Amino acid sequence: MENVGQSIRKIDGMAIAMGKPVYTEDLAMPNALVVKILRSPHAFAKITSIDISKAESLEGVECILTFKDVPNARFTLAGQSYPEPSPYDRLILDQIVRYVGDEVAIIAAVDEKTALLAMKRIKVEYEVMEPVLDFEQAVGHPSVVHPEEDLSCNFEIGLQKENNITSSSHEEVGDVDEEFKRCAVVVEDVYYPQAQAHTMMETYRAFTYLDHAGRLIAVSSTQVPFHIKRQLARALQIPASKIRVIKPRIGGGFGGKQTGAGDVFAGLVTLKTGKPAMIIYDRKETFSATTSRHAMRLKVKLGADQEGFIRAIDMQVLSDTGAYGEHAPTVLGCVGHYTLPLYNKTRAVRFDGKAVYTNKMPAGAFRGYGATQGTFALESTVNMLAEQLKMDPTEIRLKNISKVGETFLTGPGVMLGSSSLDRCIAKGKELIGWEEKFPRREVGYNKVRAVGMAITMQGSGIANIGTASAEIRLNDDGNFTLLTGATDMGTGCDTILSQMAAEILEVPMEKIIVHAGDTDTSPYDPGSYASSTTYVAGGAVVKAAEELKNKILAQSAAILGVAPQDVEFDGLAVRTLSGDQEISFAKLAELTILGTGKLQLVGYATQGCEVSPPPYIAGFAEVEVDRETGKVDLIDYVAVIDCGTVINPNLARIQAEGGIAQGIGMALYEQVRYDEIGKMATNSFMQYKIPSRKDVGKVRIAFEESYEPTGPFGAKSIGEVVANTPPPAISHAIYNAVGVRENHLPITPEKVFLGMQKL
C-alpha cells in the first residue's frame, strides 16, 4: 500500500514545531471580556449570602453572576453520546458548593487585572457542612452530597443519592462461590489505584461570541465539540440550532477534555452582555477545578485448578467520583468490561461495583477509562496466582488468554475479534530477556534488578453506541476535501484519516485537505474518546472514499463514452483500460461543478459498529531497587502491541510511548492528594510530580499485527490501551526484586523502604 502502513509525517507536525497553528486563545478577539471564576474555599457548604455591590461598582467590570442569575436546569458536563448515562446533577452555579474549587460566581471584566480585583471585593457567607472526604466512608455517611430533588438520570444507573451512591453495576455468570470451593488455589487482595491528573500542556479554555445572526459561537479546546454543543443548549436553555462549536488546534487532552470546562461560563457571559468572552483556566484551576482519574478500591479474588486454568473471578469495586457524577457509571462499568474477557477459561465470574459521591473535585474520563485501574488489580492478582501455583507468569497467561474466534462468559455469543496476544507475550519475553532475568539478580552495592509483566486489553469504539460520519468531495480544482468531526488533539488522527482516504482514492496525501471539528460544517462525530477514531471514524472515511471513487469512475466513464467497468484510476486521472482515453480529476471537476448543471461528486458515509474488537498489549518492566533507600529506577520497559494493522507505525509508536509514560507516572510518581479539610495539596507542578524523560528510562515498542476484519484496513485502536500495563508490571518487578507487594499507588521509595522493614 502506498499510504496505509507507512510512517508518513504528521501533516501538521512541522507547523506545530514552528508554532504556526492557532489554538483557542489565538482566535479570541482583542476586545473579548475576560472571565474569571470565584471558587469555594470550603469542601461542602451552603451560600447564605453573597454581596457583589462593591465588585460591580468597579470600573471595567461588565457583569457578575451568582446562582440567582443562571438557568435552573441541571445538566452533566460528561461528553458522551445521547442519552448521556451520567446523572444531571449540576447547575452552572449552585447555592450549595460541593468541593474546594466549586464555582461560586462568574466575573466578566475588560481585563484580567480588573476581574481579579473584582473577585476580591465579593463577600460571601457560608453555612459550612461536614464534608465526605473518605470515599470508603461515603455510603451511608451523615452528609448527603446531593440532597436536591431535581437531580435526574436518562435511565437507570443504580443511583441512590441519599446514600451518596452515584451509580451501581452488577454482573454475574455462574455460581462463583461454588466454583471457588472447587478450585485448587484461591488468591485475593485489595488494591488502591489513585486519582491522577491529566497534566496536558494547554489548559482548559473557551472563547464565545455572537455572530451576525445572533447565534452563540463557542471556540473550545475540547475533544468533543458536538457534545459541548448539547451541553451549552441544555445548561443555557437555548435551542441547539442557535449554537455553533468550533474546535481549533488542541494542546493535549488525555480524556480531560472529554468533559466540559469553562464553555458554559463564557457562553453565559456572552448571552448576558452580547459581547465576546474568553475564559482561560490557569494551571491551579486545571489541577483543582476540573476532573481527574477515578481513585478506586478494588477487591479481586481468583481461583484456579491445579493445571493453572483460571476458573473463577470475583471483582468488587468502589469508585470515587467526587462532587459530580460525570462519567461515573461508564468508567465503573469499564473496569470489568475491559478486564474480565482477558481470561476466558473461567466457569464463573462476578463483578460488583459502586461509584460514590464525595466532596472532592469530580473525577472524569482519563486515558484507559477504568481499564487502567482494573488491569492493575486483576494483573497483580494473576501474578500472585502464578507464584502460588509455582508457574511462570507468562505461562499462566498463555494458558488462559482468549484466542481468535472465542467468546467470554459476560458476553455470550460475542466474538472477541482478532488477537496476536500470544505472540505479543512471546516477543516481549524475548526483548526483555525474561528467561535470563526472571525473577531477580543481584547487581551489587545493595541493589537488585528484577522483571515483571502484565497484559491488558481495551476496546475499539463503543459497540452499538459509537458512530461517526465522514464526507469527501472532489473540489473544483481537482483536489479533495475530507470533512470529519473527529478531533485531533495531537494524536495525528488528521494524518491517519488522510492516509486512509488517499489510499482508497489512489492519490497523493497532499491532495487531501482536512477540515474537522466544526459542528456547523463537519458530519457528526462523538469526538476523540473511547479509542474510536481510527476504528470508527476511519471506517467512515473508508466507506465515504469508496463511494466517491465509484462516483468518479461512473461519471468519468459517462464523459468518455464507455462503460464504468472499462475505466480505472491512473494517478490524478481516470483512463480507459485500453489506454486510448483519459480525463484528469481537474477536468472532471470542471465539467461536474463549473456550470454544466451536474452535481458535485461527494462521498458520504456513517459508520456504527456492533462489535468493539480489543487491542492487546503485553508489557514487561525491568527495575533496579536500592535496598538501603527503597528507590526504584525503571531500567527498561517493553510493550508489544496488537492493534490490528498499524496504519502509521511512527504515530502508533509515539502514541504508545506517551501512554506508557503516563502509566509509569501512575505506577511510581503521580497522585492527586487532599488535606484534612478537602483542599487539594497537589495543585501545581511544584507539588504534583510527573515523570521526566530521565524517569521514564528506556521504552521499547514492538508491534505484532493481527488483521481485524471489521476495522479499516484491518486496524483496531491504540490510544488508551497503552496506559494500562505499567502499574501492574512495575509493581510485579518491585515485588520480585525485594519482596514488597505495594497495592497503594504510586509506589514511592518510602513505601518500598517501609515495606522492606516489615519483611
What's residue 595's pLDDT? 63
Judge contact between 219 and 270, C-beta under 8 A: no
Place of cell 483496531: 716
Q: How far apart are CA 682 and CA 673, in angstroms?
A: 6
Block mean pLDDT (10 aa), the chain, length 759: 93 88 93 98 98 97 98 97 95 98 98 98 98 98 97 97 98 97 98 98 98 97 97 98 96 96 98 98 98 98 97 98 98 96 95 98 98 98 98 98 88 88 98 98 94 97 92 94 92 94 95 94 91 93 97 94 94 92 93 76 94 96 97 98 97 96 98 97 97 94 97 96 98 98 98 96
Question: What pairs with residue 302 in β-bridges?
Answer: 187, 313
Q: In 3D, which of 110, 292, 296 has the Cα closest to residue 743?
A: 296
State the pairing for strand pair 277-280/205-210: antiparallel
What's residue 596's pLDDT? 63
Taking the domains of the chain in order of start, what are their residue ranges? Answer: 17-129+198-288, 133-196+292-404, 462-608
Q: How far apart are CA 643 and CA 445, in angstroms?
A: 41
What's residue 546's pLDDT? 97
Q: Which fold has domain 462-608?
A: Aldehyde Oxidoreductase; domain 4 (3.30.365)
CA 290 remoteness from chain centre: 15
The reported pTM is 0.97
Provide CATH code, domain 133-196+292-404. Answer: 3.30.365.10
Q: How far apart are CA 151 and CA 300, in angstroms?
A: 33
Q: How far apart are CA 476 and CA 192, in angstroms?
A: 58
- Same fold for the domain at 133-196+292-404 and the one at 462-608? yes
Alpha-helical segments (H) within 212-346: 225-236, 263-273, 283-288, 328-337
Q: How far apart are CA 532 and CA 720, in angstroms?
A: 10
What's residue 580's pLDDT? 92
Q: Which fold has domain 17-129+198-288?
A: Aldehyde Oxidoreductase; domain 3 (3.90.1170)
Q: How far apart are CA 248 and CA 208, in angstroms?
A: 13
One-character DSSP codes across 608-676: E-S--PPPEEEEEEEEEEETTT--EEEEEEEEEEE-BS-S-HHHHHHHHHHHHHHHHHHHHT----B-T
